[in-house]
Structure 1
Amino acid sequence: MGLLRFLLASLVLMSHLSIGFHGYNLGVMAVIVFYLLAGQVVVRLWARMRTLPNCIAVFARDRLLRILPQYFVGIGLSTLVWLYFGPSSEFLPLHPSVWDWLANLTVIPLNFFMYTGLTSFMLIPPAWSLGAELQFYLLTPMLFSWGTCRLGLIFLGSFAVFLLAQTGTLHTDYYGYRLLPGILFIFLLGSALAEQSPLHPQNSRHWAGLCVAWVVMGFYALALLVTRDHQPFRLEVALGLVVGLPLILMLQKKTSPRPWLKLLNRRAGELSFGIFLYHFPVIWTLESLGQPHTGLAAFPSVMVFSTLLAAAGHWCVERPLWRYLRPRVLV
């Protein structure tokens, strides 16, 4: 899945350079596929850890070690750029409050920005999606300790919130893309692709039901495309689900016998999280230096520098920490 993660991170980067497709945001599709991947990975991880002593603490520690080391590097880079260059960005005011700093450091409040006003100070703007992801991780031990019936009701409840967002009864962007009540079912859909999940289809009838739901979502996306609907972000979310589900299912069953391709896949996956985190400090630096920082003209430089920072963050920060801390988690 490493190459897929690299592609998704690149699409998020492109979206923040204002590179889209006929007015649609490809970065939103990428975030939806990231949600699906998170659900798939976490249910496998929890299935392996749930029998360990203090399994909840072990699981939480592993997830924090996966996210926070490079995240704090990204926070440090953005802070340095903000203090030294003072870029003109809606995300970087002159006088952030203590609450602004705490929210950025703790991550979880970031996807509540529409209610807290945190858009005025976000050192890593796309990290709001990490807030949603961490909230899902907090619920994981409880969710996947329940039976299929109760978990299915949770899934249907979240999907109902999503449908209300699609009709405009609830805010379409907030509850159809950003807040956990309306997107929890996407994480659970991703988990259903793993055999360890209570939601994994057990027979042909269950697979048929999943296929029917996928086809319905496909027709919904087609209808939005035909009507040229631009209400954020209905089409992008639907396409993320339509494309992401079969793509992940296909990739998890496909293994390459070629060692070089396995290595490339692994290295691409190692770089993806850093690219996701570091591209905004790069964009702000280029802007401050008077270089192209939006559009296709900026893509090569932003991509190259973000990739170099991602490699440095992984090999100089993440790897050393994992060597001493994470192996003890993954006993």
Structure 2
Amino acid sequence: MFGSLRLLLALLVALSHVGVSVRGYHLGVPAVVVFLLLSGYVVAAMLHGAPAWRAFWAERALRLLPPYYTAAALGVGVWLLSGAAIPFFSGAGQPALWLAALAIIPLNYATLWPVLDTFTPVPPAWSLGLEIQFYLLAPWLLAAPRRAALAWAASAAVGAAAQLGLLPSDAFGYRLLVGNLYIFLSGAALYWVQHGPAANAARWRAALYLTWAGVAVVAAATAALGRWGTPFVAEVAVGYLLGLPLVAALARLSRRRWDDALAHLAYPLFLVHFAALWALQGAGRQPSPQAPLALAAYLCLALALAAAVHLVAQRPWLHWRRRLRAAAQAAPSCGA
């Protein structure tokens, strides 16, 4: 039962982008980490057994792309109508950046090539690039447990190196697949523990315990080294350490219709909250913790836009997504 969790995570991301934090720590980063755990769980459910890879990729495309392109068009429209100098559109004159925004996949490399951040109609879309990269690899990667285990160990090592300062923490500890694949695979392992063969469940459970303990040890080391103020060291650790047991607990609950309804708003809210922010800024209102009325207006507008995107660009595809999930041997209890 993940719908309410998804909506809460999307709200945390939206709030983080108007300055809401906990003692200066970013709320959106641990939310994204939990999103990655959920994605791993759902993908493992869809690829359980002998999946049809093309059906899986088609379902994921229908899941991500129509709402994304609708939100991107909305963002561009708000920018054009407002006439404001929004930094995320400063590179709008470069056709290559439009192509990158349309392709989505390169967007999580903005920490290495900052020019990518100068044209992003949907600024959080970098995490969609990260997810798409995982989706492209998942059928091949999850088909062989040994392959998945090796990739998990290598990625966890890269993530730990980034946390400890041996690699750039923002890029290799948060945005690039090489340092985050272990998070997706931890979500997949949760599914395998709960729904896979009993003979393999003990090994994946041990891998989860070992990874959780390893993240805790690295987090303690980074705190001792004074690195918790480094982006986004503390937030990634907290997201994993709290998110893994939370997802494991919620996965055992039965689906509810109201929970599914909340899930329909989560992804569109994740996509459109910047458009809501820009619209209010264009009207001379700046949402912030110090301006509660403007903050409430921001959340209401973002939720209203999310509902509209769901009706226009998400709901019409639900029937086809269900058919494709059936073709890809989806597990109806996973939720997405």
TM-score (norm 1): 0.90
Identity %: 38
| Root mean square deviation of aligned Cα | 2.3
Aligned structure 1 segments of 4 or more residues deviating by more than 6 angstroms: 196-201
Q: What secondary structure is seen at the aligned counterpart in 1 of 2:228?
A: coil
Looking at structure 2, the residues matched to 199 and 32 of structure 1 have their Cα atoms a distance apart, in angstroms, of: 27
What's the CA shift string for 1:147-194, capped at 9, x where partnerless? Answer: x22221111111111122122221111000000100011100111000
Tell me if the contact between 1:158 and 1:184 (Cα under 8 Å) persists in the aligned partners: yes
Looking at structure 2, the residues matched to 230 and 150 of structure 1 have their Cα atoms a distance apart, in angstroms, of: 35
* Corresponding residue to 2:142 among 137, 141, 144: 144
Matched, 1:278 2:272: yes
Matched, 1:193 2:194: no
Amino acid at match of 1:326: R
What's the CA shift string for 1:217-247, capped at 9, x where partnerless? Answer: 3354456567572101111000000000000
The match for 1:259 is none
* Corresponding residue to 1:330 among 308, 320, 325: 325
The match for 1:229 is 228
Q: CA deviation at 1:208?
A: 4.7
Tell me if the contact between 2:7 and 2:265 (Cα under 8 Å) persists in the aligned partners: yes
Deviates more, 1:82-91 or 1:32-41: 82-91
Looking at structure 1, the residues matched to 295 and 222 of structure 2 have their Cα atoms a distance apart, in angstroms, of: 29
Looking at structure 2, the residues matched to 128 and 170 of structure 1 have their Cα atoms a distance apart, in angstroms, of: 20
Looking at structure 2, the residues matched to 201 and 22 of structure 1 have their Cα atoms a distance apart, in angstroms, of: 45
Gaps of at least 5 residues in structure 2 are: 327-336
The match for 1:123 is 121
The match for 1:248 is 247
Deviates more, 1:96-105 or 1:239-248: 96-105
Matched, 1:305 2:304: no
TM-score (norm 2): 0.88
**Taking structure 1 as reference, are residues 246 and 96 closer, same or farther at Cα in structure 2, changes over 3 Å only?**
same
**Taking structure 1 as reference, are residues 254 and 104 closer, same or farther at Cα in structure 2, changes over 3 Å only?**
same
Matched, 1:215 2:213: yes
**Taking structure 1 as reference, are residues 145 and 206 closer, same or farther at Cα in structure 2, changes over 3 Å only?**
closer
The alignment of Structure 1 onto Structure 2 pairs a total of residues equal to: 320
Looking at structure 1, the residues matched to 245 and 85 of structure 2 have their Cα atoms a distance apart, in angstroms, of: 41
Instruction: Describe how 1:18-167 pairs up with structure 2 within 5 A.
Output: 18-47=19-48, 50-51=50-51, 55-93=52-90, 95-116=92-113, 117-146=115-144, 148-167=145-164
Looking at structure 2, the residues matched to 205 and 57 of structure 1 have their Cα atoms a distance apart, in angstroms, of: 29
Q: CA deviation at 1:309?
A: 1.3
Looking at structure 2, the residues matched to 328 and 294 of structure 1 have their Cα atoms a distance apart, in angstroms, of: 43
Looking at structure 1, the residues matched to 173 and 273 of structure 2 have their Cα atoms a distance apart, in angstroms, of: 25
Looking at structure 1, the residues matched to 215 and 184 of structure 2 have their Cα atoms a distance apart, in angstroms, of: 16
